[in-house]
Structures are given as C-alpha cells and as structure tokens.
Amino acid sequence: MEKIDLYHKVTQWFSENMENPETELHYDTPFHLLIAVILSAQCTDKRVNIHTPLIFERFPEPADLASASFEEVYELIKSISFPNNKARHLIGMAQKLVSDFSGQVPSEPELLETLPGVGRKTANVIASVIYDKPVIAVDTHVFRVSRRIGLSDGTTVEAVEKDLTAGFAPELRPTAHHWLILHGRYVCTARKPKCQDCGLQDICREYLANNVRL
C-alpha cells in the first residue's frame, strides 16, 4: 500500500473511532500543563495527575515556582520518577519564564526548547495542545505505533517525526499525536498488543506480516 493511501485510511479510521482525543494530563493553565508534561517524562500520566493538584495550588504562577526552594519542590514530587532532576528543571523553567518571557509560556517550539527540562517532545506537546501548532510530539507510544502500522520506517524519534509531519495534513497533526499515543497506550501496547481489539488489522504492516494466510 502506498504511504499516501495508508495515511488516508489511518486518518479515516481514527476520525470515525476516536473523535475527540485529548491529553490525559490534568491542567488548568498553559503553565500548569508545562509542569505536568515535564513531570510525565518516564512516568505515567495517572501518577502525575495524583500529585499535580497540590503542586498547582502551591504554584499558581511562574513567579511562585521561580522563588521556591529545591527542598520545597522535591517534597511535592519525590514519589515521581527522577525527582531531583525534575525539581531543578521545574524551578529553572519557571525562572526563565519570568526573566525571558514575562511569565508567559511561549507558543513556538524553538522558544519552548530553551526552557530547562523541555526537550523537543515536551515543546511539541505544549505547542500543539495549547496553541494548536501543526507539530507532532513523538513519545515511545507514537514511535512504536507509527512503525508497527507502517506510517514510518524511521529508526529515530526525529525520523519518525519527519515522516508523520509529512504524512498528516497540518491541521490534523495535533489530533494525530493523540490518536497514536492513546492507541499505543491502550491497544497497541508494547507487550502483548491487543490486535484482536484493533480496527487497523487490515492495514497494519506488523500484524499482516505476522498473520500471513498460507
């Protein structure tokens, strides 16, 4: 199947079966989503959501977090993965927002990447979710699903992102990110994917390769 046809069929199926996908991280402001996404690195959204209400209450604005001590932040996130690094990143991120961006979360991925603790994936998440920018964040779920289905042959995150950006129309990219991440989280899982529950069997490269009819 040609790539253009594959993308069309994938888009059609998700549009019909996952109409309004969105991030599962809880947040109320762009700043708070940025905190949540930084905390979610190598940690489940569910665990992050348990801790963020208290964090958001304590640090409603960047200036509040910018003036916090390491110990104060660490105590709030110590049961989340890599709390030492994340505490430093959160404080540094807030300080840079205050000093360089007047306390506002920038909309461009390139500017977001200048913040401590913000890599390309995090920057693209914020840019797409908050500002509806035509970018796709590639995490482990998106990487896995894209390669399994055949949307990308890329062996690096950058290569997969490039393929997805070329394959999905600009207005679809923020939505496509959620399609793929949620599909990977609940159906096309890393171990024991639930192929029997997947409506993409007929076009999934890996499924077809492993279930050739003799």
Q: C-alpha distances in angstroms, 6 versus 30, 48, 71, 159, 160?
A: 34, 35, 50, 18, 15
What is the spatial distance between Cα 191 and Cα 166, in angstroms, rounded to a whole number? 28
Decide if 206 contacts 149 (C-beta within 8 A): yes
**Catalytic residue from among 45, 121, 133, 163:** 121
Tally of CA atoms within 13 A in the half-sphere of 67 that contains its CB: 7
What is the spatial distance between Cα 112 and Cα 156, in angstroms, rounded to a whole number? 21
| Cα torsion through 207, 162, 11, 38, rounded to 10 | 90
**Catalytic residue from among 45, 86, 139, 163:** 139
151: which 2 tokens? 């949307």
Decide if 24 contacts 45 (C-beta within 8 A): yes
Tell me whether residue 162 is one of the annotated catalytic residues: no
For the chain, how far is it from start to end, CA to CA, in angstroms?
Answer: 20
Tell me whether residue 96 is one of the annotated catalytic residues: no
Decide if 54 contacts 76 (C-beta within 8 A): yes
Catalytic residue annotation = 121, 139
